[in-house]
Amino acid sequence: MRWWKAVGLAGAAGVVATGVVVVRAERRRRAYTPEQVRERLHVRFAQATAVQEAETAPEASQAAAGIRGRLRRLFRR
């Protein structure tokens, strides 16, 4: 094996080792209790549904009006 291959492999091993250390530290930092996790999930779900309802409300009314208009045209003939 050439020396530059060994240096490259050592560099890659260093990057992986650094990633492992960072992930372990992050897990310790974010050691939430089950109640904290549940609370955060409920908050995120409430935010997501509120945004989704706000986005779909106008579209739903437009879609319903579009369908009604098509049905009216269909039955007029």
The one-letter amino acid at 69: G
At 57 the pLDDT is 57
Indicate the DSSP class of residue 1.
Answer: -
Q: Give the pair of three-digit tokens for residue 71.
A: 């049905």
Q: Where do the domains of the chain lie? A: 3-76
The more confident residue out of 64 and 19 is: 19
**pLDDT beyond 90 at 3:** no
- Give the pLDDT confidence of 41-76 residue by residue, as tens digits: 999 999 988 877 776 655 555 556 677 777 777 777
Q: Span 4-19, mean pLDDT?
A: 90
Which DSSP state fits 36?
H
pLDDT recorded at residue 37: 85
Q: Grade residue 33 by pLDDT with cuts at 50, 70 and 90.
A: confident
